[in-house]
Structure 1
C-alpha cells in the first residue's frame, strides 16, 4: 500500500493532495496546520487505509504543492476544501483538521453540515468572542509558528500572517454558527505544552451539539509528537458507528 499524489482544480485554485486506501472506501479528508503540508499525515493516512478507510490529505492554499494566491481569507481555505471535495467526487466525508486546518474544518462543517459525517479537531485555534473565554494574545498565536518559518520552506509566509491577523479579529458570528455543526465531533487538546488553552477547547466542546473533549498532553502537534495515542483515539472514533 502506498501514498498516491495528484492535484485538482478547486474553483480556479490548484490544490495538491495525497491519498491512501481503496477508492471506494469511506473517505477521510485530512487538513494540516499552518506552515505544514499534507505529508504530515502520511503515517496516519496509512493507518486509516489499513482500517478500511480512504485518506485524502490536502495541501491548503499557499502550502506544499497548492497554489500561492494574492490573499488568504479564512473563508477561502474553506471554499478550497469544498471545491476540492467536489472535484474529487467526495460527497459526505469524515474531516480531520489540525490547528489552522482544524479551524478550516469548523468552517466547512458550519457551511455544509450535510457533507461532514464525523469531525476531529486537533488543537484548533478557536477565536475569541464567547463569554468567559479570554482572547489569545498575538504572541501566543505567533510563537508556535516562528520555528516553522525558520525550519521549513515550501509555503507562503503570508498565509500564516493572514491567519493570525484574522483570528485576532475574528468573525463575530463564528461561535453563533458552532451549533450548525451536526457531526459528532472529537476535540483533541495538547495539554499544558500547547499554546491553545484548555479553557477555550472546553468551551468549544460544550458549544457543539455532539462534542467531546480529549486531552493528550503532547503539545500542539499531537498527531506528530504522540502518533500512537492520536491513532488510538481517532481511529475508533472515525470507524465505529452507532
Structure 2
C-alpha cells in the first residue's frame, strides 16, 4: 500500500494515501463512517491504472486528527480544503455512504471542483424514518472517534433541508450505485436522488448490500471505470 502522508487543512491534519501516475487525472476516494483510506484497497489498483488516486482519512478516522467536532458540513469543508491544499482541480470524486454524502455536498457547494461524481450507497439527505438512535459505544479502542457516529446520527435524523434542495446545483456527471434490497439504504430514495441531479444515472448491483465495492468489487469497478472513461 501507499505510504500515509499528511496535510494541514484548517485546524486539522488530514492523512491520505496516493497511487498512480502524477500526470494522470485526479480521483479522490472518501470512505464510510468507521473506516479510513485503507477501505479502498480492493479496488484502488484498478482505479490507479487510469487516475492519480488519493484516498483520504476523514477527520475523526484513521490517522487524521480526531478533534471531537464533527458533522457532514465539516467533512464537506475538509474535502474542499484538502483539494485546495494539494492544488487539485476538477477531480473525480468517489464516495461511499458517509463519504458519498460529503462528496455530494462538495459537488453542490463547489461544482467547479468536481469533474465526475460517484455516489456508492449514499444516504439521501432526508430525515431518517424512523429516527436513528446512537448505540452504546463498543468496548475497547476503536479505529475512529465515536463522536463521529453521534454526529452522523444527528445529521441523518435532521439533515439541513438545503442539502436536498442543492442537488439541482450539481453539474458533474454523476453515477449513483445502489446495493439492492439487502441494503439498509432505501433504494427508492437513491432513485429519487438520481432524478434530482441534472446529469445522473443509477446502477443497482443487486445483492451487494451496503458494501458494494467490498462485496462485488468486479461489478463496482466495471460500472465506475465505464463511467470515468472519457466520453466521445
TM-score normalised by the chain length of structure 2: 0.94
Structure 1 segment 24-173 matched on structure 2, within 5 A: 24-50=23-49, 52-128=50-126, 135-139=128-132, 153-173=142-162
Matched, 1:16 2:15: yes
The question of whether the paired residues in 2 share the 8 Å contact of 1:30 and 1:96 is answered with yes
Distance in 1, Cα, partners of 2:75 & 2:196: 23
Moved more, 60-69 or 150-159: 150-159
Distance in 2, Cα, partners of 1:193 & 1:202: 16
Distance in 1, Cα, partners of 2:131 & 2:214: 24
The aligned residue for residue 132 of structure 1 is none
How many pairs align? 231
Matched, 1:198 2:187: yes
* 1:14-41 CA distance string (max 9 Å, x none): 1000111011210000000001111011
The question of whether the paired residues in 1 share the 8 Å contact of 2:14 and 2:59 is answered with yes
The aligned residue for residue 239 of structure 1 is 229
The alpha-carbon deviation at position 142 of structure 1 amounts to: 6.5
Distance in 2, Cα, partners of 1:150 & 1:47: 36
Distance in 2, Cα, partners of 1:110 & 1:58: 20
Query: RMSD value over aligned CA atoms?
Result: 1.9
Q: Pick from 184, 191, 205 the counterpart of residue 216 of structure 1.
A: 205
The question of whether the paired residues in 1 share the 8 Å contact of 2:42 and 2:214 is answered with no
The question of whether the paired residues in 2 share the 8 Å contact of 1:32 and 1:38 is answered with yes
The alpha-carbon deviation at position 44 of structure 1 amounts to: 1.7
Distance in 1, Cα, partners of 2:61 & 2:114: 23
Distance in 1, Cα, partners of 2:138 & 2:120: 21
More helix, by proportion: 1
The alpha-carbon deviation at position 151 of structure 1 amounts to: 9.8
The alpha-carbon deviation at position 149 of structure 1 amounts to: 5.4
| Structure 1 gap segments, 5+ residues each | 130-134
Distance in 2, Cα, partners of 1:101 & 1:7: 19
Quick one: structure 1 residues 196 and 151, their matched pair in 2 at CA, closer, same or farther if it must change by over 3 Å? farther
TM-score normalised by the chain length of structure 1: 0.90
The question of whether the paired residues in 2 share the 8 Å contact of 1:31 and 1:105 is answered with yes
* 1:61-112 CA distance string (max 9 Å, x none): 0000111013102111011111111111211100000000000001100110
The question of whether the paired residues in 1 share the 8 Å contact of 2:60 and 2:68 is answered with no
